[in-house]
Amino acid sequence: MGKTVFVFSGQGAQVPGMGKSLYENSPAAKAVFDMAESIRPGTIRQCFEGTKEELSVTINTQPCVFAVDLAAAAAVAEKGIRPDYVAGFSLGEIAAIAFAGMLSYEDAFKLVCRRAEVMDQAAKDNKGAMAAVLKLPPEKVEEICKGFEKAYPVNYNSPAQTVVAAAEDEIDALCAKVKEEKGKAVKLAVSGAFHSPFMNSASDALAEYLECVELKTPEIPVYSNYTAQPYEGSYKALIAAQVNNPVKWQTSVDNLILEGADRFIEVGVGKTLTGLIKKINTNVTAINIETKEGLDALN
């Protein structure tokens, strides 16, 4: 029998009204939202009633998406479905380590709030931009980036999608170069150049914060964005390194499939990871759970 993976959504998936259906129909999901609200008042309102603009501000996005991710996972687990592995995309990795028992939900939520603060500050101090590059292999994207002073591949999403981060004054030229090489570049509506050296100060600040945080051995194997392998060694170093290094999503999914995973359940907001997984391997099942209807259809 194949194995199941819970994959947790990342920043960028947020939409107004997210999580409301889960809150109203799952006691386990409601408990997660209530926990978040007790630590950061206003989180529930932002998720259910916040505007697109309000939700796109990093210090709001990360706590809210985390709450929805963890609530969705709790709701699925409430139905008796437990994963063999977990993985999260960027921010989603913090929800994954919480679900795997490495941190209490409360401590993980506090970590996310701090992560959002330091990444937001780094974005303000080091102006950068991001673009999704389509129709070109990762190797070609890496070659293009080497032609610029401050340009980096940062999200290896699928065989034909790699996200890049670059200095604000280089992003347009980089996109033009992509087009010249027969690819397509789409600038992303984000507030910073995440998962790149533009986030070095955020990584340092997060490492400092983690010095006072106790992490437990995961009860479920957690795949790291940084290594594309299960967490081992210094957990704190992996969490801190994740914010200023590339997300190796395609390799993580490939490695999970090699371990026998054939069902991926995206818990949280949207279908971004579901879509990427289907592009990485057409032989596995990938579904998303973010509403009561999705929960009811799950078996």
Q: What average pLDDT does the chain have?
A: 95
Mean pLDDT computed over 234-259: 97
- Considering the candidates 21, 158, 191, 195, report the single residue annotated as catalytic: 195
Provide the number of structural domains found in the chain. Answer: 2
CATH number of the structural domain spanning residue 97: 3.40.366.10
Instruction: State yes or no: pLDDT of 3 exceeds 70.
Output: yes
**H-run or E-run covering 66:** helix 58-78
13 pLDDT band (50/70/90 cuts)? Answer: confident
Q: Identify whether residues 104 and 207 lie together within a single domain.
A: yes
pLDDT reported for residue 294: 86
- What 3-state class would DSSP assign to 179? helix
Where a domain ends, among 187, 205, 233? 187
pLDDT reported for residue 191: 82
Indicate if 90 belongs to the active site: yes
| Residue found under tokens 């690819």 | 183
Q: Identify whether residues 102 and 28 lie together within a single domain.
A: yes
C-alpha separations of 278 from 6, 73, 151, 282 in Å: 15, 20, 28, 5
pLDDT reported for residue 190: 83
Indicate if 9 belongs to the active site: no
Mean pLDDT computed over 82-109: 97
Q: Identify whether residues 12 and 117 lie together within a single domain.
A: yes
Q: Identify whether residues 137 and 255 lie together within a single domain.
A: no
Bridge partners (DSSP) of residue 163 are 132, 155
Where a domain ends, among 163, 187, 211? 187
Instruction: Give the span between the Cα atoms of 263 and 6, in whole angstroms.
Output: 9
Q: What is the pLDDT of residues 136-184, one digit of tens each?
A: 999 999 999 999 999 999 999 999 899 999 999 999 999 999 999 999 9
Query: Which residue range is the domain that position 232 belongs to?
Result: 3-123+196-297
Instruction: State yes or no: pLDDT of 62 exceeds 80.
Output: yes
Q: Identify whether residues 167 and 254 lie together within a single domain.
A: no
Q: Identify whether residues 110 and 168 lie together within a single domain.
A: no
- Considering the candidates 90, 158, 196, 252, report the single residue annotated as catalytic: 90
pLDDT reported for residue 292: 87
12 pLDDT band (50/70/90 cuts)? Answer: confident
Q: What is the pLDDT of residues 260-299, one digit of tens each?
A: 999 999 999 989 999 999 999 999 999 999 988 888 888 7
CATH number of the structural domain spanning residue 155: 3.30.70.250
Q: Identify whether residues 119 and 247 lie together within a single domain.
A: yes
Q: Identify whether residues 96 and 234 lie together within a single domain.
A: yes
Environment class of 111 (CB within 10 Å of its CB; exposed 0-12, middle 13-18, buried 19+): buried
Q: Identify whether residues 63 and 203 lie together within a single domain.
A: yes
Q: Identify whether residues 259 and 202 lie together within a single domain.
A: yes
% of the chain surpassing 90 pLDDT: 90
Q: Identify whether residues 103 and 244 lie together within a single domain.
A: yes
Q: What is the pLDDT of residues 15-30, one digit of tens each?
A: 999 999 999 999 999 9
pLDDT reported for residue 295: 87
Contacts of 172 (CB under 8 A, 6+ apart): none
Where a domain ends, among 160, 187, 214? 187
pLDDT reported for residue 1: 66
Instruction: Give the span between the Cα atoms of 67 and 267, in whole angstroms.
Output: 11
Q: Identify whether residues 165 and 292 lie together within a single domain.
A: no
